[in-house]
Structure formats: C-alpha cells, structure tokens
Amino acid sequence: MTATIALPVLSCTGCGACCTHMATPPLFAAFFPPKGKKTPAFMRGTPDEAIVASMPGPIRRRVRAGFRDAWATNRSTFAVPCFAYDEKTRRCTIYEYRPTTCREFEIGGDGCLNNRRRERIP
C-alpha cells in the first residue's frame, strides 16, 4: 500500500480559489461612504484607507467602477468572483493595491485549503 502525503501550499500562483467566492467586495466601504460624507470612521487610519489613497487615478476609477457594477448587478453574494480577479489568468488585477484581508489571508491555512478543495485545485 502506498501512502500519499499532502505537500504544503506555499504559493497562490495559478490558484485564486479564495477570490472565486466573494461576499461584499473588499474595500467597498472606502469607496462608497454614506452620501455626502468622507471615509467612514471605522476605515480612517487603517491600512485599507492608505491603500485606496495610494491608488493611481486610473486604477481607483476602475476599482470604483468594479464596485458599482458588482452592486448594480447584485454581485454582493457569496457565489461570485471578486471583480478584481481575472478568471483566465487566475490572478488579481489590482494585486499591488489588494486590501488587507487579501494580504493577511494565510496561504496554506484552513481557509486556503478549504477553498482549494471546493475549486478542485491541488
């Protein structure tokens, strides 16, 4: 009998399993504060506020449009990919400006492995 040993997951390259089922898109609150108000208090001084502030204008406009599209088409459910995820290349299109939740997601952790199993990615 041959035993199979699962190797640890060390890279996201070619995966994107965690990006394929998003709820409210990350950074949403930073782009759509309550009407007539600035960034919500809970976002002020956070790494995500700094990420949004550092985005060049064209990327900021594209991200904002992605949020608008997601909201308008009711894509804020758990069964849709993140609008910034390119399903063909299996890569994030705003990787340099990805939100904190994506930066802190543990590669090879329980959530990662569960997403990989769901997407049938070894």
- Can you give the residue ranges of every domain in the chain? 17-119
pLDDT in tens, 60-112: 888 888 777 766 665 555 567 787 888 899 888 888 988 888 888 888 888 88
pLDDT at 28 (0 to 100): 63
Higher pLDDT, 60 or 32: 60
pLDDT at 77: 53
Residues 6+ positions from 89 with CB-CB distance below 8 Å: none
Where would I find the H helices in 1-122? 28-31, 47-54, 57-72, 100-103, 110-119
Q: How confident is the model at residue 6 (pLDDT cuts 50, 70, 90)?
A: low
Strand partners, 91: 86
Q: How many CB atoms lie within 10 A of CB 86?
A: 13
Give me the mean pLDDT over the 34-61 stretch. Answer: 78
What does the pLDDT read at residue 25?
60
pTM greater than the 0.75 cutoff:
no
8 pLDDT band (50/70/90 cuts)?
A: confident
